[in-house]
Structure 1
């Protein structure tokens, strides 16, 4: 994720350190919004580029991960919109998200539930997918609101609706 620019060496070092520390965010989002390995790599690079371009506007008084999520998700959603006519509408989650969902995949049932969750998430609209990603990462309502640019009550409402849709989805699939 090397990005060239004329920015000061101190800023470049600070950016590279922060990006390295939170690299998993970029990889998770790229894996959640891109189907093929090459597309994931391209999306991760596009996210890193946009993060670098926006870095001068980053306010260190706010959490870097929240700022990073917001930009990364916006880039990923834009990527899906640009490529939607040419690509499959849903994308599977990468195996790195197994830990995020806190599922016990050591049993057949646990693995089946994880796959069900991944299919459910992949079938959601980009904003709902982003919300679920943040929810599974155990972000606070405020953080989700900040990242997605929607009100806290809207976040709560959407999460409750998504939980109900997931229950219905699991029930229809025979996973009560």
Structure 2
């Protein structure tokens, strides 16, 4: 069981890093959260029933751990805003702007957009979050419109 868990974690390590990147800004907290996600996923692995894919399950564990971690950290200190950085590459600049805008969303909306952009179908997102698929549809549609509007404002009316 341990070897299977390690193999699956290594295969889906990107999920953990993505969640950490969206919820934590400093290196020390990133390391702490990474350890906490690994610990929580290992503790929960015996209960993984394979009703969903491992990646969907890992996303759920990672997000729940990140949200719990954030609540603890928010009580301890104020979270500083991440500044927008500019680069010479337009593609990288667009990605950084999108990432910045997603990080400005509340925790639930941030989670929904991240899952959506990672290619999860609304039914899978509903399984992860416990929301209805219809609610996910509405939220994703509104979040896309909000982000597009903010991107237009940042780019003087152009996307």
Normalising by structure 1, we get a TM-score of: 0.80
| Structure 2, gaps ≥5 residues long | none
Distance 1:144 1:26, change over 3 A: same
For the 8 Å contact 1:69–1:147, the answer to whether it is kept is yes
The equivalences for 1:28-43 within 5 A come to 28-43=18-33
For residues 150 and 89 of structure 1, the distance between their equivalents in structure 2, rounded to whole angstroms, comes to 30
CA RMSD of aligned residues (A): 1.9
Aligned to 1:23: 13
| Structure 1, gaps ≥5 residues long | 1-10, 93-105
Aligned to 2:72: 82
- Greater alpha carbon shift after TM alignment, 33-42 vs 82-91: 82-91
Distance 1:45 1:80, change over 3 A: same
- Greater alpha carbon shift after TM alignment, 116-125 vs 78-87: 78-87
Structure 1 residue aligned with 2:57, among 63, 67, 73? 67
Structure 2 residue aligned with 1:53, among 12, 22, 43? 43
For the 8 Å contact 1:121–1:129, the answer to whether it is kept is yes
Aligned to 1:116: 97
Deviation at 1:23, TM superposition (A): 1.1
The equivalences for 1:131-170 within 5 A come to 131-170=112-151
For residues 106 and 68 of structure 2, the distance between their equivalents in structure 1, rounded to whole angstroms, comes to 12
